[in-house]
Amino acid sequence: MDPYKHTPSSAFNSSFFTTNSGTPVWNNNSSLTVGSRGPILLEDYHLIEKLAQFDRERIPERVVHARGASAKGYFEVTHDISNLTCADFLRAPGVQTPLIVRFSTVIHERGSPETLRDPRGFAVKFYTREGNFDLVGNNIPVFFVRDGIKFPDMIHALKPNPKTHVQEPWRIMDHFSHHPESCHMFTFLFDDHGIPLNYRHMEGFGVHTFTLVNRAGKCTYVKFHWKPTCGLKYLSKQEAVVVGGSNHSHATKDLYDSIAAGNYPEWKLFIQTMNPSNEEMFDFDPLDVTKTWPEEMFPLQPVGRMVLNKNIDNFFAENEQLAFCPALIVPGVYYTDDKMLQTRIFSYADTQRHRLGPNYLMLPANAPKCAHHNNHHEGFMNFMHRDEEVNYFPSRFDAVRHAEQVPIPSRPVSGRREKVMLEKENNFAQPGVRYRSWPADRQERFIENWVDALSDSRVTHEIRSVWISYWSQCDKSLGQRIAAQLQSKSNM
């Protein structure tokens, strides 16, 4: 019998209970005791193993994006962009690539309702012939802050109070009053956009600016956009209370049931592109993650479609153990100097090594589906069978060689070592444009959400004044209306 023929799988289950080592268990209902009522013996290995395994069933939940749902499917290229990128999975129309997607809420715990006002994660893992490409984004095209050094404090402010373990608005209002770049994100989060109807009726964004590189080495800045074919739909605050009260997993159930019924969710992938030589021409920094690129200047270009046509087989294996990292790119796609993206390149893999272990990329959901080889070995939970004698490079006993060189951006970089803000902050123009684009009833709901948040008893007069100043700089009438409603509420 070849001990390496089968990897662990329920497809090879025996018809009877066994221990983890395969030993038959003839009684899975009674502990081994001294007499029928005597003390339990430590030698009951099956009992000890069963309890020890159960005690360790829960791995640490994600610090953010703990609550999520996954599904599998494929991506199909519909439009030729081979002039922009040498990425193999984008090589021609008709090419299909298997993938897995994880949708999530960001701030709240693993068992929290999916109706809470919160950004949603939209992470796609493409299993390409050149390795995995993780496009890890959100349902909102911008972010709260533009520098990753602020991220831990930002999440602490959004998470529950460490004393009461209750999420409290005053902490959010206080923290972000120090970061005016957050205004643009809040025009999404405190808008109808903040509570999607479900995952199927939700758009996705790569959020960051990435780089596409073609075979000649020409670089193009790119932003990725996922648009659901079934349209965008949201829940009102009142509807969210009813839906969340009846089923706190409504979005997970909707995704699973839709796929099971053959109603496969589909998204179209679009890109916006920019010549890097033009990045100084605008009143905003194109690499600033708190900004969008105006579509009238950078129109959406169709690329392909994503279809989710298979539910996951096991929630733990393909949702809890599913791990994403924006550092996982393929030839033809590269990073930019976006400060938040540069931080995520390190932090995502680091948190997965803590949560799942150093060999988390061996887990089936995370492992590449193409042939791969390196000299990383051993360590916790390494289950790859290896029988080679040479585990170093280079060697005359091993024919492995360097891969074919692929072009990457080669722009020269120079400057002083310094900790500084971006020169073009321009924090208020885009939030104002977005607010003025809404109909009156949507504007009123946004104002109502802000008045509620600023009415928290622990939000000080100073914090309210800062936010009224910010919103007035976005749109004069917006600041005035928030101030008037706060004054009216305080006089009631």
Domain boundary, last residue among 310, 342, 362 = 362
Q: Are residues 320 and 440 in the same domain?
A: no
Integer Cα distance of 205 and 137 in angstroms: 5
Q: Are residues 333 and 455 in the same domain?
A: no
The predicted-structure confidence for 401-410, as pLDDT tens digits, reads as follows 888 888 888 8
The identity of residue 4, as a single letter, is: Y
Reading the block at residue 254, the tokens are 């909707």
pTM value is 0.93
Q: Are residues 218 and 131 in the same domain?
A: yes
The answer to whether position 319 is within a domain reads yes
Q: Are residues 309 and 217 in the same domain?
A: yes
Residue with tokens 């991220």: 151
The predicted-structure confidence for 112-154, as pLDDT tens digits, reads as follows 999 999 999 999 999 999 999 999 999 999 999 999 999 999 9
Query: By the 8 A CB rule, do 484 and 471 touch?
Result: no
| Torsion from C-alpha of 466, 472, 477, 480, nearest 10 degrees | 20
Integer Cα distance of 137 and 158 in angstroms: 19
Residue with tokens 């030839």: 331
Beta carbons within 8 Å of 297's beta carbon, 6+ residues apart:
none
Band (pLDDT 50/70/90 cuts) for residue 414 is confident
CATH of the domain at 302: 2.40.180.10
The predicted-structure confidence for 451-473, as pLDDT tens digits, reads as follows 999 999 999 999 999 999 999 99
The answer to whether position 223 is within a domain reads yes
Query: By the 8 A CB rule, do 123 and 139 touch?
Result: no
Domain boundary, last residue among 309, 340, 362 = 362
Q: Are residues 199 and 344 in the same domain?
A: yes
Closest Cα to residue 328, out of 355, 367, 385? 367
Half-sphere exposure of 315 (CA within 13 A, CB side): 11
3-state SS, residue 25 = coil
Annotated binding site for heme: 348
The answer to whether position 406 is within a domain reads no
Beta carbons within 8 Å of 126's beta carbon, 6+ residues apart:
75, 89, 97, 98, 99, 132, 133, 134, 135, 330
How does strand 204-205 pair with strand 120-128?
unpaired
Reading the block at residue 287, the tokens are 């690499």
Annotated binding site: 348
Q: Name the phi and psi angles at 18, rounded to 5.
A: -140, 170
Band (pLDDT 50/70/90 cuts) for residue 254 is very high
Query: By the 8 A CB rule, do 183 and 291 touch?
Result: no
The answer to whether position 442 is within a domain reads yes
The answer to whether position 18 is within a domain reads no
Q: Is 309 a catalytic residue?
A: no
Q: Are residues 234 and 311 in the same domain?
A: yes
* Active-site annotation holder among 46, 65, 108, 250: 65
Integer Cα distance of 336 and 344 in angstroms: 12
Q: Is 449 a catalytic residue?
A: no
The answer to whether position 340 is within a domain reads yes
Please tell me the predicted confidence (pLDDT) of residue 3.
54
**Residue 209 C-alpha from the chain's centroid:** 15
The mean per-residue pLDDT over the stretch 284-299 comes to 97
Band (pLDDT 50/70/90 cuts) for residue 6 is low
Closest Cα to residue 193, out of 429, 438, 433, 432? 438
The predicted-structure confidence for 44-80, as pLDDT tens digits, reads as follows 888 888 888 888 888 899 999 999 999 999 999 999 9
Residue with tokens 């709260």: 144
Q: Are residues 354 and 484 in the same domain?
A: no
Domain encompassing residue 465: 428-491
Residue with tokens 């075979």: 215
Q: Are residues 340 and 442 in the same domain?
A: no
The answer to whether position 481 is within a domain reads yes
Q: Are residues 358 and 434 in the same domain?
A: no
Domain boundary, last residue among 362, 385, 406 = 362
What distance separates the 2 farthest-apart alpha carbons in the chain? 85
* Active-site annotation holder among 108, 132, 138, 175: 138
Least confident of 11-15, 170-174, 217-221: 11-15
The larger pLDDT score, comparing residue 381 to residue 222, is at: 222
Query: By the 8 A CB rule, do 169 and 368 touch?
Result: no
Integer Cα distance of 298 and 278 in angstroms: 12
Reading the block at residue 485, the tokens are 């409603």
The mean per-residue pLDDT over the stretch 81-104 comes to 98
Q: Are residues 140 and 257 in the same domain?
A: yes
Number of domain units in the chain: 2
The mean per-residue pLDDT over the stretch 332-352 comes to 93
Closest Cα to residue 45, out of 57, 32, 55? 32
Reading the block at residue 162, the tokens are 């460490």
Query: By the 8 A CB rule, do 82 and 109 touch?
Result: no
Bridge partners of 311, per DSSP, are: 71
Beta carbons within 8 Å of 387's beta carbon, 6+ residues apart:
none
The answer to whether position 34 is within a domain reads no
